[in-house]
Amino acid sequence: MTQMKERLVQLEVLRYNPDTDTEAHFQRYEVTCYEEGVVLDALNKIKADIDPTLNFRWSCHMAVCGSCGMMINGEPKLSCHTFLREYEGVIRVEPLTHFPIERDLVTAPDDFMEKLKRVKPYIIPKEDKPISEGEYKQTPAQLMKFRQYSMCINCMLCYAACPQYGLTPEFIGPAALTMAHRYNQDSRDGGRKERQEVVATHEGVWECTFVGACSEVCPAHVDPASALQQMKITSSIDWIVEHMIPGGKK
């Protein structure tokens, strides 16, 4: 095997310690990393060799767990999926924007978790059937209707990218609404009406102005923007049925 090339990496990391700091500040680190490494490798090397007090979340190092999201040169990215070779000069690393900072690069995801719960992201069966009747079967075509939307890893990069979430924190937001769509599209599910109570409100899909940044930053290619546009169409059809067709159900 050929020797892996190394390079000197300069990182400017946002630091904040709630016990001692009144304000967040940047700290500069210089560390030698493999040319093929990712930003998370550089952070781990800093923590191991230079500064054990640096805090950040990570787990899988393979873009599956969704815990290492941070702002890298101002863009929301998974740090395990962001190659150092794509950057020149100092790389600025900050916690995910639009979320309160807990410590250094660690943010509090509570708002997202609460919103995710509100859209009922689980199958609400159309009909209850006893286990003896066997499984709920699904054709490949039925699976394809929601498969893409089930790929979300809850990394919250879309919330950091969404200008509407930044301006209107009540907005349910891309990932949670996409999860609602994922279950609405599932042939085994009968819960769309319940979810509409959240989805079809002003804080639901109607706060979205289709900027599309959520889909651009999504590391799992879920395309939340498409889910939201599809839900705007179905919510509009609901509205017409409810308000313009006599006998249309409220």
Partner 1 sequence: MAKSHKPVVWFPFAAGGTVIAFFIPVIVVLTFMAALGHIPPGLSYEKMHAFASNGLGKLIIFGVVALSLWSSAHRLRCTFYDFGVRADTLVAIVLYVAAIAGSLLSAVYLLQI
The amino acid at residue 35 is E
Residue where the block lists tokens 């009406």:
193
Q: Is 145 exposed, middle or buried (0-12, 13-18, 19+ CB in 10 A)?
A: middle
Applying CB under 8 A, among 38, 158, 180, 198 the residue interacting with partner 1 is 198
Nearest to 106 by CA among 71, 39, 46, 55: 55
Applying CB under 8 A, among 163, 193, 194, 248 the residue interacting with partner 1 is 163
Residue 162 or 220: the one with the smaller Cβ distance to partner 1 is 162
Q: Is 201 in the site for partner 1 (CB under 8 A)?
A: yes
Q: Is 14 in the site for partner 1 (CB under 8 A)?
A: no
Residue where the block lists tokens 């995801």:
109
Angle between helices 174-184 and 110-118 (to 10 degrees): 20
Site for partner 1 (CB under 8 A): how many residues? Answer: 21
Q: Is 185 in the site for partner 1 (CB under 8 A)?
A: no
Q: Is 230 in the site for partner 1 (CB under 8 A)?
A: no
Choose one: 44-52, 144-152, 176-184, 202-210; the region binding partner 1 (CB under 8 A): 202-210
Q: Is 240 in the site for partner 1 (CB under 8 A)?
A: yes
- DSSP bridge pairs for 63: none
Q: Is 204 in the site for partner 1 (CB under 8 A)?
A: yes
Nearest to 118 by CA among 198, 184, 234: 198
| DSSP class of 46 | I
Residue 125 or 163: the one with the smaller Cβ distance to partner 1 is 163
**Residues at the site binding partner 1, with contacts judged by CB under 8 A:** 163-164, 167, 196-198, 200-204, 206, 209-211, 232-233, 235-236, 239-240
